[in-house]
Structure 1
Amino acid sequence: MGGLIDAAVLPEEGRHADAIFAVAVEDGAVVVWEYDEALTDERKEAAQDRFDRLSQRSPSAEDSDESDE
């Protein structure tokens, strides 16, 4: 298995970027798609929290030296 998957085969609630699924595969074919809304939301929040922390970090000493030039 590998490659692209047509969005039409995915459960409708999971047809968005970064959706997380649990799948069951038999003989190389996906037989069950299960969208994991809770895990998708958890990862989205964790990524946003990390982005927020990174955007609020104070400049390093090197950054301030460069701005003085």
Structure 2
Amino acid sequence: IDPSTLQKAVRKAAQLAGINKHVTCHTFRHSFATRLLEAGYDIRTVQELLGHKDVKTTMISTHVLNKGGVAVRSPLDL
């Protein structure tokens, strides 16, 4: 499949789904990584899955969630 053909199909699918943002095939990769982080996976695991040599690249490409410890819970919290 020619990359431009696939890209056109992705854009059309996004349009039909009512997504009014710029969507590319690479968007799936970003979304996958971001969802893993949101689900609690370790950044190093995501880095390995994406094949990045430097974790900084993973942090940039996943638009790291700046929760600053908000999601961290103490085992003492009920």
Normalised to the residue count of structure 1, the TM-score between the two structures is 0.32
Computing the radius of gyration from Cα coordinates, the structure with the larger value is 1
Give the structure with the larger helix fraction: 2
Normalised to the residue count of structure 2, the TM-score between the two structures is 0.29
